[in-house]
Structure 1
Amino acid sequence: MAASTLLLLRHGIAEERRAGLEDGDRALTERGRSRTRAVLERLVALGLMADRLLCSPLLRARQTAEIAVTAGWAPDLTLASELAPGGAALACLPEWCQACGGDSLALVGHEPDLSALAACLIGAPAGHLDLRKAGLIQLRLSEAAARGQAVAGGQPAAGGAVLVSLLRPGLLLG
């Protein structure tokens, strides 16, 4: 079964950049962990969950994905190097959708990559979506886009999805 729902989750609040700390080694802060946990528990309570979860290999994204699994938002996680900043997530999307094994595929990653991916899929100009830390974009993929049939230049065509929701943590948590 190809995924028809795409959930894009940005990692939670992480340590600030500083000398001697590689970007990929920046961990979630305590506030980042607690806020991310609360967001994911709220999503589970709303029944908005993932059948498969792929995440960037960077520490803050992995920690966010681990919290998602612990909260029951997704059954497990798989690392995907294409979700690292500047990765080729768009090119991999049809394959990931086909391998999902359910209706909803979640990607945990970084900005501006996730909002750029969403903008491309809905046919919006880059920079028109703003995904906050621990925020979620929910897209409904066309059947052709999920199967990789709506392609342009080997990638899903613009307009192959509809924006269902753009959820800020503050909106979810009140």
Structure 2
Amino acid sequence: MPKLVLMRHAKSDWDKPGLADFDRPLSPRGERTIPRVMAALEALDIMPDHVICSTALRTRQTLALALQGWKDDMRIDMTKAVYEAEAEDLIELVSDAVRGDAPETLTIIGHNPAMEDLAAILAGPGSDQEGLDRIHTKYPTAAVAVFDGSWDDFGPGRMKLETFIVPRELPEA
């Protein structure tokens, strides 16, 4: 069954006053978090064949760390549209990505509040209610929402939240 993976970038560094938001790098904590998240995704057999990633520095660095555990023959689209997006914009990006030769697993690496809003909008019948409640409470950095459903029926309330991965709940790598 097709999967949509919504990954928020890892923790960014705020130690450089005056640095533009777009140019903020990952913090050391953010860099240490991604291997744990990747281990959790691997345990669920989540391997994207298409990634859409924001062009902000912290999302590109998150992707680079994720690629250490993902196959190297996937399609990767880098776009500033994810950085600037609201949930509805991300729905359009996903809809465009799944037209025609749709991926089995599509991953978006982006930012809040769009990731949190999109997860809340997509969750439909059969969704993990505990995970959905946690999404509504907080979608922390490096958190990942995994949905499954049909690309033919993709839209608000039509995907099933399978799991919500929160890094602080994961064992140390």
TM-score class, shorter-chain normalisation, is 0.7 to 0.9
Tell me the secondary structure at the aligned position of residue 164 of structure 2: strand
For residues 42-65 of structure 1, give each alpha carbon's deviation from its aligned partner in whole angstroms, at most 9, with x where no partner exists.
322442221111111110011001
Report the Cα offset of residue 129 of structure 1.
Answer: 5.5
Q: Could you tell me how far apart the structure 1 residues matched to 2:84 and 2:148 are?
A: 24
Matched, 1:96 2:97: yes
Give the corresponding residue for 2:117. Answer: 116
CA distance in 2 between counterparts of 1:5 and 1:129 reads 23
Q: Give, in angstroms, the shift of residue 66 of structure 1.
A: 1.1
What CA distance in whole angstroms lies between the structure 1 residues aligned with 2:103 and 2:91? 19
State whether structure 2 residue 19 is matched by structure 1 residue 11: no
Q: How many residues align?
A: 161
In the alignment, the residues of structure 2 paired with residue 169 and residue 9 of structure 1 have an alpha-carbon distance, to the nearest angstrom, of 11
Runs of 5+ in structure 2 lacking a partner?
A: 125-131
Question: CA 1:17–1:89 in structure 2 vs 1: closer, same or farther (change >3 Å)?
Answer: farther
Match of 1:40 among 33, 38, 41: 38
1:84 aligns with 2:83: yes
After superposition, the CA RMSD in angstroms is 2.6
C-alpha distance 108-78 of structure 1, shift in aligned 2 (>3 A): same
Report the equivalent of 2:128: none
Alpha carbons of structure 1 residues 90 and 27: separation in structure 2 relative to 1, 3 Å: same
Alpha-carbon distance between aligned partners in 2 of 1:52 and 1:86, rounded to the nearest angstrom: 19
Aligned in 2, Cα 1:99/1:116: closer, same or farther, shift over 3 Å? farther
Q: Which secondary structure does the structure 2 equivalent of 1:70 belong to?
A: coil
Give the equivalent residue in structure 2 for 1:150. none
Structure 2 counterpart of 1:120, one-letter code? I
3-state secondary structure, aligned to 1:67? helix
2:147 is matched with 139
Query: Cα offset for 1:131?
Result: 1.7
How far apart, CA to CA, are the structure 2 residues paired with 1:99 and 1:56?
23
In the alignment, what sits opposite 2:20? Answer: 22
Deviations 1:7-51 (A, max 9, x none): 001100101275320000000011211111232133224422211
The 1:24/1:115 distance shift into structure 2, 3 A limit, reads same
Show CA shifts across 1:64-99 (max 9, x none): 011111222674532022211435212221111236
How far apart, CA to CA, are the structure 2 residues paired with 1:141 and 1:84? 25
Give the equivalent residue in structure 1 for 2:129. Answer: none
- TM-score, normalised to structure 1, is 0.79
Structure 1 unpaired stretches of 5+ = 147-155
Is the CA contact 2:48–2:70 (under 8 Å) kept in the aligned structure 1?
no
Aligned-partner Cα distance in 1 for 2:43–2:148: 20
Q: Does the Cα contact within 8 Å between 1:144 and 1:160 map onto a contact in 2?
A: no
More displaced stretch, 94-103 vs 10-19 = 94-103
